[in-house]
A and B are shown apart, each in its own frame.
Chain A
Amino acid sequence: MARDMSDKEILQMELDQLKIEVSTTRTAVSVNCKETMEWVEAQTEGDPLIKGVSDDKNPYKGDKGGCIIT
């Protein structure tokens, strides 16, 4: 659809968009990053890819071969 539009229409679209964006509420990076970091640290305990999972709970580990021959 963007290909069918004339340059003027595309510019008008960008302009309308910019007008909207200029007025969005923004918060400081320091505040956000701190919050994000705190959120991540709280969640890190439950992250199996970081903390690792014991072999009996992990469905993917253990396949370390070993056939039992009876």
Chain B
Amino acid sequence: MCDQTFLAITFGPCDSCSENRPLMNLYIKTEPINYCSLCMEIMACQGLASGETLKSLKAESETLRKKLEEERKKLHDVELEKVAEKAEALGELNMKTRRTLKGHGNKVLCMDWCKDKRRIVSSSQDGKVIVWDAFTTNKEHAVTMPTTWVMACAYAPSGCAIACGGLDNKCSVYPLSLDKDENLSAKKKSVAMHTNYLSGCTFTNSDMQILTSSGDGTSALWDVESGQLLQSFHGHSADVLTLDLAPSETGNTFVSGGSDKKANVWDLRSGQNVQSFDTHDSDINCVKYYPSGDAFASASDDSTCRLFDLRADREVSIYSKDSIIFGAASVDFSLSGRLLFAGYNDYTINVWDVLKGTRVAILFGHENRVSSLRVSPDGTAFCSGSWDNTLRIWA
């Protein structure tokens, strides 16, 4: 005889795992609880131990994860490549290095464009942060940070300040003055304080707030003027290596990627992690929002770049080739979102067709790994910084 049969009065979605199962009607202090037998047991075990045991937590986590997977699968009715078959094929791309910015004494780790589409700030391992004019290749400002490995730098939206940081665990803001003789280091303002290295920083829509990500596993939003912590974002279980803010029209979110192979989307105001993606096989080195704001791309040490759609809540495309075995360090989209530029550790830059998932070009030129890559604000060119101490502007 089956000893697991019982008379189920109701059959329906369980309160706890939401699957359609025969429900065991239980009343706890006159509250009706409709759980399926699985969840009933889990709840009972949790009640017995004072606080949950690791095992029950893991079990609950597993069921939720499976459920999440199912929900996501339900919506995966077609591949992006299939939808893109109707799209026009791209013509021949003719991109070359147009400018080479030389002047850093050591590896270039990070760079950012100014909103005036002309200036670039770049930071390097030797602690120097240089502001260049991309058209003329002149250096406009140079600051020496009191730390080496300046891994993050950002230009303020107004173009009047730069923020940078690295192994000093801080993010410092330097207001840029037109007076060439003025010592920029004197005006330095320490804004963010983390407990481990600073991996990324960006200004929000104004000069007044900075978003930072750190090796201590958290990201944080700071007020520049007072240096106060406005919001902190916890959720990664390892170093946060990169972050990107959503394009202004689409709202107050940002995405971060870390060594725990996860990319998380956060709400700036509440500090809540709203979505999480963990399909990568290795550290995520760079994340970038799609120009429309509905998706983002990530570059990882597993040598692939992936496109994640936020509304479908899943990965929709992988940009990889068997011949690419080196990790990708940086990605950015072209203005229309049709092209994805990715810089790799094998010294090349691959250009991918976002919709069709194919590679359209390989750009050679750097003599060491490409550490950072950004398309200019008006889309006319993109700049890549490399461990060969130079930056190249391609157009």
Which residues on A are within 8 Å of B, measured CB to CB?
1-3, 7-8, 10-15, 17-22, 24, 26-30, 32-37, 39-41, 43-50, 52-53, 58-61, 63
Q: Interface SS of chain A: helix, strand, loop or mixed?
A: helix
Q: Tell which of B89-97, B142-150, B177-185, B200-208 binds the partner.
A: B89-97
Given contacts A15-B60, A61-B395, contact A1 B68 (CB under 8 A): no
List which B113-140 residues lie within 8 A (CB) of chain A. Answer: 118, 134-135
In addition to A10-B237, A29-B75, A32-B316, 6 A-B residue pairs with Cβ atoms within 8 Å of each other are A20-B274, A26-B312, A32-B312, A49-B381, A59-B118, A60-B393
Are B195 and A37 closer than 8 Å at their CB atoms?
Answer: no
In the assembled complex, B313 has its CB within 8 A of some CB on chain A: yes
**A15 nearest CB neighbor, chain B only:** B61
CB distance from B275 to the nearest CB of A (A): 6
Are B57 and A8 closer than 8 Å at their CB atoms?
Answer: yes
CB distance from B284 to the nearest CB of A (A): 15
CB distance from B235 to the nearest CB of A (A): 6
| Complex Cα spacing A44 to B338, Å | 7
State which of B61, B274, B339 has its C-beta within 8 Å of the C-beta of A50.
B339
CB distance from B195 to the nearest CB of A (A): 7
Q: How many A-B residue pairs have CB under 8 A?
A: 178
CB distance from B92 to the nearest CB of A (A): 10
| Complex Cα spacing A59 to B60, Å | 58
In the assembled complex, B268 has its CB within 8 A of some CB on chain A: no
Given contacts A1-B216, A22-B67, A29-B76, contact A17 B57 (CB under 8 A): no
**A63 nearest CB neighbor, chain B only:** B98
In the assembled complex, B87 has its CB within 8 A of some CB on chain A: yes
**Residue with the greatest number of chain B CB neighbours at <10 A, chosen from A3, A35, A47:** A47
Binary CB contact string for chain B from 355 to 395 against chain A (1 if under 8 A, 0 otherwise) = 10000000000000000000100111110000000000101
A-B contact pairs, 22 of them (CB 8 A): A2-B217, A3-B216, A8-B54, A12-B57, A14-B61, A18-B61, A18-B65, A30-B77, A32-B311, A34-B83, A35-B294, A36-B309, A37-B83, A39-B337, A40-B354, A47-B335, A48-B379, A50-B338, A59-B118, A59-B135, A60-B134, A60-B395
In the assembled complex, B72 has its CB within 8 A of some CB on chain A: yes
Are B236 and A60 closer than 8 Å at their CB atoms?
Answer: no
Are A47 and B338 closer than 8 Å at their CB atoms?
Answer: yes
In the assembled complex, B213 has its CB within 8 A of some CB on chain A: no
Are A47 and B334 closer than 8 Å at their CB atoms?
Answer: yes
**B55 nearest CB neighbor, chain A only:** A11
| Complex Cα spacing A41 to B355, Å | 10
Given contacts A26-B313, A41-B87, contact A49 B375 (CB under 8 A): yes
Chain B contact residue count (CB 8 A cutoff)? 76
Given contacts A11-B57, A60-B99, contact A47 B309 (CB under 8 A): no
Are A29 and B336 closer than 8 Å at their CB atoms?
Answer: no
| Complex Cα spacing A64 to B134, Å | 17
Are B337 and A40 closer than 8 Å at their CB atoms?
Answer: yes
Are B71 and A26 closer than 8 Å at their CB atoms?
Answer: yes
**A28 nearest CB neighbor, chain B only:** B75
Are A22 and B61 closer than 8 Å at their CB atoms?
Answer: no
Are B234 and A1 closer than 8 Å at their CB atoms?
Answer: yes
CB distance from B141 to the nearest CB of A (A): 21
CB distance from A34 to the nearest CB of B (A): 6
